[in-house]
Amino acid sequence: MASKKRAKPGKRPTTSRRYPNPTIELLCERASVRDFKAKKIPARVLGHILEAGIHSATGGNLQPYSIVKVESPATKAKLAEMCTQAFIGRAPVDLLFCIDWRRNERWARLDAAPFTATQSFRHFWISMQDAVICAQSIETAAASFGIGSCYVGTVLDLVPKVRRLLRLPRGVFPVVLLCLGYPKTRPEPRAKLGSGTVVHDERYRDLPGAELRRAFDAKYAAFKLEPTPLFLERLERVCRNVGGAPLARKALARVKRTGRIAPAQHRFGLHYVADGMPLGNERFLELMEQAGFGWFRKYKAK
């Protein structure tokens, strides 16, 4: 089935789109959904979605992840409150994807096999990939039933609370939440950098500056943020903390010249604040160790 779509201004370029098959259409038309109908997802449908996701590729076919399926209104409300994102509570199903080496460790014990996966960065890295690959298959499988979804990464800022709420034992570490539900309204797909920017032929190549600028300008064509005194003061402070007075001066001069805060200034200066993000590093390692993951410590064989 090929179809033609017209994207609305501010979301994606208004070129008409033709798709060679329904899967490509599903993938290219997807958008995060945060506005859900009260309608439940039938157990049979959810079962198909979960089975399809679990069939994803996984390093060594080890499946070192678990999914905590949350449908209880009380638990969803707690998650929503903790993450300060109300749509989590309104989604009929919330899925928490976790790295899970506990199950494999127990299996290893049953078979009298040696086990060090929680002490290995390599294993950690692959298991994170496995969890996310499964989550994304579930997103797509859900979309094939007309079910919308939205990831929530905020769980990473709430590891102890999430572990307590959902009783995650040692060896299990939360990665991301995926909220599922039938969309009340269907959002327009968001503009993305295209394959001309993201895909490199045969070897990595930096785009020339002007091309890079065009690509980001096209992606953020609809972005507008008034330079209020509060925003400017915050931007100035973050720039100063990261790049000293020269960066702060340059950032404010740019705002003055263009009359607006640039999208990258917003992303890294006001939203994912560049001076704050790395400060969480040590805390994350602490939380990881509490959950039984000590891969960043020097390994000592017994």
Residue ranges binding ligand FMN (CB under 6 A): 31-32, 34, 85, 150-154, 176, 190
Which of residues 62 and 191 has its CB atom nearest to ligand FMN in the complex?
A: 191
Smallest distance from ligand FMN to CB 11, Å: 9
Given the complex with ligand FMN, which of 6 and 257 has the nearer CB atom?
Answer: 6
List the structure tokens of 223: 């972005």
First-to-last alpha carbon distance for the chain, in angstroms, is: 60
Residue nearest to ligand FMN (CB): 153
Residue among 119 and 124 whose Cβ is closer to ligand FMN:
124
Cα(236)–Cα(269) distance, integer angstroms: 8
Q: How far apart are CA 32 and CA 179, in angstroms?
A: 10
* Nearest distance in Å: CB 175, ligand FMN: 8
CB of 179 to ligand FMN, least distance (A): 9
Closest contact distance (angstroms) between CB of 143 and ligand FMN is: 11
Q: Which is nearer to ligand FMN, 158 or 274 (CB)?
A: 158
- Distance, CA of 89 to CA of 179 (rounded, Å): 9
Residue 18, number of CB atoms within 10 A of its CB: 11
Q: How far is the CB of 243 from ligand FMN (least distance, A)?
A: 26
Query: Of the candidates 206, 178, 232, which has an alpha carbon nearest to the alpha carbon of residue 69?
Result: 178
The structure tokens listed for 49 are: 């979605």
| Minimum gap (Å) between residue 151 Cβ and ligand FMN | 4
For ligand FMN, the closer of residues 187 and 294 by Cβ is 187
Of 85, 231, 218, residue with least CA distance to 158 = 85
Q: How far is the CB of 152 from ligand FMN (least distance, A)?
A: 4
* Strand pairing report for 4-6 and 93-100: unpaired
SS3 111: coil
Select from 139, 134, 125 the least CA-distant residue to 67.
134
DSSP-assigned letter for residue 183: B
Toward ligand FMN, which CB reaches closer, 63 or 85? 85
Q: Closer to ligand FMN by CB, 151 or 293: give it.
A: 151
**What CA–CA distance (Å, rounded) separates 147 from 179?**
10
CA dihedral 246, 249, 250, 252 (to 10 degrees): 160
